[in-house]
């Protein structure tokens, strides 16, 4: 079964190491076997972290409600949550991916205007990364609502199903 470093969990979830450790401390996530800098977290931890993200964002649930929901999850449901953040290829259809080619350098548009810095960003905004294909991600603002989440999942599913890279 796949294991994840703290950096992997941070990258996949968008949560900081401090927040993930807080979830462990208050009992929303299980404690990993401590191995110093080589501490690894289970796929179950990733699945539960995915569920926490969704329940907080979509339903506004707090820690007590999330703890109750966590107790009711089956291992299959936890795996479904993990799949949303890090899809595992089917064992039968898995083929080794070729090494990624160097990213092409795209020419700048001829009518390019210098971008002004964004002034409407709020301190503490959280963006969620949705991987589409190697080298291409979609980002969405955490808490954007059901429509945005549904669209992101549909886009992700389309590209994962076709294997197209653009």
Burial class (CB in 10 A: 0-12, 13-18, 19+), 124: exposed
Model confidence at 41, pLDDT cuts 50, 70, 90, reads very high
43: pLDDT strictly greater than 70:
yes
- Looking at the structure, give the CATH architecture of the domain made up of residues 1-87: Orthogonal Bundle (1.10)
Report yes or no on whether pTM surpasses 0.95. Answer: no
Residue 106 or 75, more confident: 75
Domain boundaries, the chain: 1-87, 126-166
Q: What crossing angle do the helices spanning 6-13 and 43-59 adopt, rounded to 10°?
A: 30
Those residues whose C-beta lies under 8 Å from the C-beta of residue 137, and which sit 6 or more positions away, are: 129, 130, 131
Residue whose C-alpha is closest to residue 51's, from 20, 84, 21, 22: 84
């Amino acid at each position: 079964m796949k294991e994840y470093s703290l950096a992997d969990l941070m990258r996949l979830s968008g949560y900081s190491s401090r927040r993930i450790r807080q979830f462990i401390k208050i009992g929303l996530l299980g404690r990993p076997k401590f191995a110093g800098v080589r501490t690894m977290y289970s796929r179950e931890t990733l699945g539960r972290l995915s569920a926490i993200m969704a329940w907080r964002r979509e339903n506004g649930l707090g820690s007590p409600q999330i703890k109750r929901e966590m107790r009711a999850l089956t291992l299959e449901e936890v795996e479904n949550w993990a799949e949303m953040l890090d899809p595992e290829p089917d064992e039968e259809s898995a083929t080794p991916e070729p090494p990624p080619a160097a990213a092409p350098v795209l020419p700048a548009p001829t009518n390019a205007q210098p971008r002004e810095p964004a002034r409407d960003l709020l301190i503490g905004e959280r963006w969620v990364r949705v991987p589409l294909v190697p080298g291409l991600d979609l980002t969405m603002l955490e808490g954007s609502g059901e429509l945005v989440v549904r669209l992101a999942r549909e886009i992700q599913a389309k590209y994962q199903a076709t294997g197209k890279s653009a």
